[in-house]
Amino acid sequence: MLLFKFIVMFVLSSILFIEPAVAETMRISDYGSWQNENVQVEKEQIYRTASISDQAGKAQTKEELKTILYEEMKSYNTSFSISYTGNTSMLTETIASAFQEIFESDQYAYGTLSKYGYSSYGYTNNVTITFNMTYLTNAEQELYVDKEVKRIADTIKQAAFTEEEKVKAVNDYVVLNTAYSNDTVASPHTVYAILKEQKAVCQGYALLAYRLLNELGIENQYITGTAGGIGHAWNIVNIGGQWYYLDTTWNDPTPNRPSQVQYNYFLVTADQLAKDHEWEQAGLPAATSTDFSFMHEMTEAYTANGEVYYNNKNDNNKLYKMNVESRAKKKLSDSHAYFITALKDTVYFSNFSNGARLTKIQTDGSGQTELNKEYSMNLYINGQYLYYSLQDGTQKNIKISNELIVDEAKYSLWAQKETILANKEWKIQFNMPLNSKFVNNENVYIVDKNGGKVSFIQAVIENGNYIRLKNSGTFTKGEKYYVVIEKDTAALSGKTLKKGIYMPFLVN
């Protein structure tokens, strides 16, 4: 059983009133509070008055009290009262126990609650308890979180099939989409901050991992403790009946590198983690398996097309690749490789064996070539360009592809057409009537090979469930174009695509 730390303060006062009808009844009052010790709020990013529900319900037992409390917490209500007619002789303990059980059954509820306070007033075994809750988030933000968590998990399911692949995909998503920072509009302790601002602190990292793993059916827990002498959060994950620790925060290089993931804290044992983390291990599953120790030789890594390209810290940071499915590995270069990224059949890296010059090599280890003679860092690919920075902070880029690079995480290939006429008009059928508010040139369009929108194409709805791409110009013969339909394109029923879709075509 996972244990949580509580700070409970209370004062109990009672006065005996002698009245004809209630001579043996004691009028009582009580108040108390709790604060999440694992949240260090440097600035006000907490929600106190977003919602109010006056009379939340009536409870006769702790179980009924807990049920009502949990429903109010799931709605992120900040002030509500419960009529309690159970045993009030240990009311403070009853309330603390109810919260404890809620936190143990839903660790996300624990992670998003900053503190609570309560007061009670009434008679023995008949009191009204008023709760005042302070959250790190609110109902509107959590609706967005729920939607995004499902969308991300659905995307992961399309490419990751085993438990190991799903956990790696979650680790990679959190790392690649988050920069460690307190400088956020929303609370940096929340999942919302990551999904909306791509920034958070460790609590946001671990809670997003917790939510995504749950959505993917991977058993896991949210863990709090310390690392480096300060409060910290991470996860423990069950793969194939064995438990492992996962610290997505410490797998994220700092300063942030857009395409880099580390695996030093990926599925490690308790003994490995305890070298620099401290936490209460009593009641937690044992984590002793070293099945994934092969991942820990990766100082920096980049995953593409089922291969992990990395510098092997056990071999002087030379460039290697490993097949995700078979775990077969191969050395690609004797160069000390850093800031690794890849596109199709080419790996790009900074060659620290030769002045950190920008270098490329084929994925089979052939054709290593220098691309410049400058100290190059922070490599990442966006579209057709490879971006990097120099020691003085100057940003540079080089074009590495003449083809449009499609983000396969956001778009699915629909079809591919050849020998298309230069004045072609497309008519696309959907299986239900479309909403005209979401069919326009922002959601349905054609781009050229450089990703530029074709100006002479206009999207219109015909006969309810058809989109016609009206053509008032001429495509260039011999060039490739792409029909793109964004996932926000919606039916009248409100349904949208799970992912955007695209269709390349060649004009003859």
Alpha-carbon Rg of the chain, whole angstroms? 28
Tens-digit pLDDT profile for residues 118-143: 999 999 999 999 999 999 999 999 99
* Whether residue 195 is found in the same domain as residue 282: yes
DSSP type of residue 440: S
* Whether residue 426 is found in the same domain as residue 321: no
475 domain residue, yes or no: yes
Q: Which residues contact 471 (CB under 8 A, 6 or more apart)?
A: 423, 424, 425, 456, 457
* Whether residue 35 is found in the same domain as residue 120: yes
Q: Structural domain of residue 209, as residue ranges?
A: 139-291
1 domain residue, yes or no: no
Calculate helix-pair angle for 139-159, 202-215, nearest 10 degrees: 60
4 domain residue, yes or no: no
* Whether residue 26 is found in the same domain as residue 114: yes
Tell me the pLDDT band of 406, cut-offs 50, 70 and 90.
Answer: confident
Considering 355, 375, 401, which residue would you say is the last residue of a domain?
401
- If one counts the domains in the chain, the total is 4
Tens-digit pLDDT profile for residues 171-228: 999 999 999 999 999 999 999 999 999 999 999 999 999 999 999 999 999 999 999 8
Q: Which residue has the higher pLDDT, 40 or 325?
A: 325
Average pLDDT over residues 300-318: 91
- The CATH number assigned to the domain holding 439 equals 2.60.40.1220
Please calculate the CA angle 289-290-295 and round it to the nearest 5 degrees: 135
Tell me the pLDDT band of 44, cut-offs 50, 70 and 90.
Answer: very low
* Whether residue 131 is found in the same domain as residue 174: no
* Whether residue 318 is found in the same domain as residue 396: yes
Question: How would DSSP label each residue in 327-373?
Answer: --EEEEEEEEEEEEEEETTEEEEEETTTTTEEEEEETTS---EE--S
The reported pTM is 0.72
Tell me the pLDDT band of 40, cut-offs 50, 70 and 90.
Answer: low
* Whether residue 146 is found in the same domain as residue 278: yes
Considering 136, 158, 181, which residue would you say is the last residue of a domain?
136
